[in-house]
Amino acid sequence: MNLQNKTRTPKVTVIGAGTIGLGWITLFLGHGLSVTVNSRRENAPELVREGVELFASHLSEGALAPDEFAPLVSFEPDIEKAVASADIIVENAPEQLELKQELFARISEAAPPEALLLSSTSTFDPDMLGERMRDRSNLLVGHPFNPPHVVPLVEILAGEKTKPESLNRAVDFYRSVGRVPIVLRKPIVAFAANRLQSALLRESVHLVREGVVTVAELDDIVTHSIGLRWATIGPFRAFHLGGGPGGLRAWLATLGANLDRGWELLGSPSMDKETIATLITQADEAFGDRSYADLVRERDTLQSAVLKALATAMERVSKGPEEVASV
Amino acid sequence: MNLQNKTRTPKVTVIGAGTIGLGWITLFLGHGLSVTVNSRRENAPELVREGVELFASHLSEGALAPDEFAPLVSFEPDIEKAVASADIIVENAPEQLELKQELFARISEAAPPEALLLSSTSTFDPDMLGERMRDRSNLLVGHPFNPPHVVPLVEILAGEKTKPESLNRAVDFYRSVGRVPIVLRKPIVAFAANRLQSALLRESVHLVREGVVTVAELDDIVTHSIGLRWATIGPFRAFHLGGGPGGLRAWLATLGANLDRGWELLGSPSMDKETIATLITQADEAFGDRSYADLVRERDTLQSAVLKALATAMERVSKGPEEVASV
């Protein structure tokens, strides 16, 4: 299903209006989709209006402006009614398995049989989520990175009973709103991106705990080296280039044998009281003078700027080396 | 010593004209420093001219153009002569301890007593490098990330006998050429950035080895999520924000206890023949159709674009929230 070729844009229901829910709502509205918001909060319309206005400044170019959003969004606190005529349902309830299982059981009874059911969970796979559903052929995980209207990655995970067609529809849907869906080939605890993040955090904690650097210095090291690199090329391409013209093959031949040894030397810190106290003290020193809203705004502004720069540079690069040489 | 306040710019000698040496030469020339190149290669002048022209397009704004470089660079294949009147000596010889020890012994006898001696080594600390020197009070490690004219980080490591004044001079010097020096507070094998890189690579190899994703998919996951994030904010600030208005303290209170458990679940792959074969096959599929020069050009173009976008966005952000809201 290519959404672009359909005669009408899909009707989306977003369940939950927390940080992730609000990010999705902003993104979908910005792409001109009509969105029904299901939230138990009494002040949901106000929350959504405020959140969407704040978030919309970080949507990529070509997106609708907030004043164009208003006619596209509606609110329905009753879950059954909220999904009754939806094409796509995006669930962002708290990370509690039983809660989500009950939610999906109710959704699948009330939604149209062909509705695509997507969970933003970072924890559970579709087979767990759908345990109480009669039909889970349209159920998938689409795990975004926070905030989902800024960070492009969506990790997709199908369940044992997910139809291939539903997987394709999910991929097409996320692409249609400017995301980069990557389908995991098998389930794994915490999925891929968070595991990678956790691996880096472990060594970060080790370096701070050992007194090699402070929290602020560790952050500076990352942003000014590997972060910059990984925003542009992934770790394998980086090592492919590290091998020179011989590529990853050459790199593994000269340095690959040392990888195991290097890994053995990595830290395995424990989050004991002392470590936690050190991290909190140093984080207070590093960020304590700035408000949450201020830091979030800075993060999202910088991330949006990087994305825009990458898109522009990528376009230039794809024109070929001659034109790139003068960049 | 603030280089900006000196009556003349420092005279720099760069030892070695491999990839790292060429990057340094380009960066120093671009900042208007006069550079003596010490290289055993007969075609060093040609190599340097070509390398510098290729690299110069990625220098940040305000840098000199290659045709302004020519009068600033000279070549001296004799090591003693090359360092005889240098203010700063940047060593980029192969990573062989005895070779570097001999080099620094000779340099320290031939260079002016106040010359700053900087090693680009990624492996050895100053106490190892200076073992055969009579006076190592001016010797430090300044480990760059590749390529040093693009990636800003320089990890600085002083030895037991390094003078505090020399440490300050080294920090000032790297800052004067637009780098971000971070002083490591104690020696650690492989320093900080490469350890962090290694930690991420370990989990990356695990995910590919387990068949969760391919090499190409792993790279896409990183660039479109954590890479983007870490180019703008470091891991600790990211988790500080993950805690909401309560910051890292709140995040550790709710999720911190699970960190240890998450770390225990991370992979510990071994680089056996099968793993190496999988990585090489998938890397060939992912990058095999593109030349080394093409991939390097793309990497450096994208990294330069990201750095420029970050600098511009940071300037805007620092003007305050009101003006940022419309970004």
pLDDT tens, residue by residue, A130-168 = 999 999 999 999 999 989 999 999 999 999 999 999 999
What are the chain B neighbours of A178 within 8 Å (beta carbons)?
A: none
Window 110-149 of A, Cβ < 8 Å to B: 145-146
Torsion-angle region of B201 (φ positive above 0: left; ψ -120 to 50: alpha; else: beta)? alpha
Which amino acid makes up residue A327? V
- Count the neighbouring beta carbons within 10 Å of the beta carbon of residue B255: 13
CA pair distance B207, B224, nearest whole angstrom: 17
Task: Report the pLDDT value the prediction gives residue B201, as an integer from 0 to 100.
Answer: 97
Window 229-248 of B, Cβ < 8 Å to A: 229-242, 244-245, 247-248
CA pair distance A200, B198, nearest whole angstrom: 9
**B19 sits in which H/E element:** helix B19-30
CA pair distance A213, A219, nearest whole angstrom: 10
Task: Report the pLDDT value the prediction gives residue B325, as an integer from 0 to 100.
Answer: 42
Question: Count of alpha carbons within 13 Å of B64, Cβ hemisphere only?
Answer: 21
**Cα nearest neighbour of A229 on chain B:** B303
Query: What are the angstrom distances between the C-alpha of A97 and each of A102, B54, B255, B273, B298?
Result: 9, 55, 17, 40, 44
Contact A207 B188 (CB under 8 A): yes
Please tell me what DSSP assigns to residue B159.
-
3-state SS assignment for residue B153: strand
What are the chain B neighbours of A210 within 8 Å (beta carbons)?
A: 186, 188
Task: Report the pLDDT value the prediction gives residue B323, as an integer from 0 to 100.
Answer: 45
Residues shown for chain A:
327
Q: How is B211-252 classified by DSSP, letter by letter? A: TSS-HHHHHHHHHTTHHHHHHHS-HHHHHHHHTGGGHHHHHI
Q: According to CATH, where is 1.10.1040.10 located in chain A?
A: 193-288
- The CATH number of the domain covering residues in B193-287: 1.10.1040.10
Contact B213 A185 (CB under 8 A): yes
Residue closest to A15 by CA, chosen among A52, A53, A49, A44: A44
CA pair distance A31, A24, nearest whole angstrom: 11
Contact B199 A203 (CB under 8 A): yes
**Cα nearest neighbour of B252 on chain A:** A276
The CATH class, in words, for A3-183 is alpha beta
3-state SS assignment for residue A311: helix
What are the chain B neighbours of A195 within 8 Å (beta carbons)?
A: 203, 207, 262, 265-267
3-state SS assignment for residue A18: coil
User: Average pLDDT in the A30-49 region?
Assistant: 93
Task: Report the pLDDT value the prediction gives residue A64, as an integer from 0 to 100.
Answer: 79
Task: Report the pLDDT value the prediction gives residue B7, as an integer from 0 to 100.
Answer: 54
**Cα nearest neighbour of B262 on chain A:** A198
Please check whether residue B303 touches A, CB under 8 A: yes
Query: What are the angstrom distances between the C-alpha of B112 and each of B76, B204, B268?
Result: 17, 47, 49
Contact B192, A218 (CB under 8 A): yes
Model pTM?
0.94
Indicate the pairing of strand B139-144 with strand B153-158.
antiparallel
pLDDT band at A319 (very low <50, low <70, confident <90, very high): confident
Respond yes or no on whether the N-terminal peptide bond of residue A112 is cis (omega within 30° of 0). no
Contact B151, B125 (CB under 8 A): no
| Helix residue spans in chain A (DSSP H) | 19-30, 44-56, 66-69, 79-83, 97-110, 126-129, 164-176, 193-209, 215-223, 226-232, 235-242, 247-251, 257-264, 273-287, 292-317, 321-324
Collect all residues with Cβ–Cβ distance below 8 Å to B312 and sequence separation of at least 6. A305
Collect all residues with Cβ–Cβ distance below 8 Å to B21 and sequence separation of at least 6. B14, B15, B37, B39, B90, B92
Residues shown for chain B:
327
Window 262-291 of B, Cβ < 8 Å to A: 262-263, 265-268, 270-271, 276, 279-280, 282-284, 286-288, 291
Task: Report the pLDDT value the prediction gives residue A4, as an integer from 0 to 100.
Answer: 47
pLDDT tops 80 at residue A63: no
Contact A44, A71 (CB under 8 A): no
Please check whether residue B250 touches A, CB under 8 A: no
Task: Report the pLDDT value the prediction gives residue B140, as an integer from 0 to 100.
Answer: 98
Alpha carbon of A9: minimum distance to chain B alpha carbons (Å): 26
Question: In percent, how much of chain B has pLDDT > 90?
Answer: 78
pLDDT tops 50 at residue A304: yes
Collect all residues with Cβ–Cβ distance below 8 Å to B11 and sequence separation of at least 6. B33, B34, B36, B85, B86, B87, B88
Alpha carbon of A137: minimum distance to chain B alpha carbons (Å): 21
For chain B, residues with pLDDT lower than 70 are 1-7, 320-327
Which amino acid makes up residue B13? T
Task: Report the pLDDT value the prediction gives residue B242, as an integer from 0 to 100.
Answer: 86
pLDDT tops 70 at residue A5: no
Query: Residue B236 is nearest to which of A186, A215, A259, comparing CB atoms?
Result: A215
Alpha carbon of B37: minimum distance to chain A alpha carbons (Å): 23
Task: Report the pLDDT value the prediction gives residue B324, as an integer from 0 to 100.
Answer: 41
What are the chain A neighbours of B231 within 8 Å (beta carbons)?
A: 223, 227-228, 230-231, 306
Which of A150, A186, A226 best probes binding to B when mutated, by most B CB atoms within 10 angstroms?
A226
Q: According to CATH, where is 3.40.50.720 located in chain A?
A: 3-183
Q: What is the layout of strands, in order, in the sheet containing B73-75?
A: B73-75, B34-38, B11-15, B88-91, B116-119, B139-144, B153-158, B180-183
Query: What are the angstrom distances between the C-alpha of B159 and each of B12, B98, B179?
Result: 22, 17, 21
Alpha carbon of B85: minimum distance to chain A alpha carbons (Å): 33
Q: What tokens were used for A183?
A: 């389908």
User: Average pLDDT in the A287-311 region?
Assistant: 93
Alpha carbon of A101: minimum distance to chain B alpha carbons (Å): 22
Strand-pair partners of A153: A180
3-state SS assignment for residue B151: coil
Q: What tokens were used for A317?
A: 């690069």
Q: According to CATH, where is 1.10.1040.10 located in chain B?
A: 193-287
Chain centroid to Cα B71, Å, comes to 27
H helices then E strands: how many in chain B? 16, 8
Residue closest to A140 by CA, chosen among A161, A123, A122, A119: A119
Task: Report the pLDDT value the prediction gives residue A70, as an integer from 0 to 100.
Answer: 82
**Cα nearest neighbour of B247 on chain A:** A292
Task: Report the pLDDT value the prediction gives residue B1, as an integer from 0 to 100.
Answer: 42
Contact A199 B199 (CB under 8 A): yes
What are the chain A neighbours of B296 within 8 Å (beta carbons)?
A: 241
Please tell me what DSSP assigns to residue A234.
-
- Count the neighbouring beta carbons within 10 Å of the beta carbon of residue B112: 14
Strand-pair partners of A36: A13, A74
CATH superfamily of A193-288: N-(1-d-carboxylethyl)-l-norvaline Dehydrogenase; domain 2 (1.10.1040.10)
What are the φ/ψ torsions at residue B129 (nearest 5 degrees)?
A: -60, -35
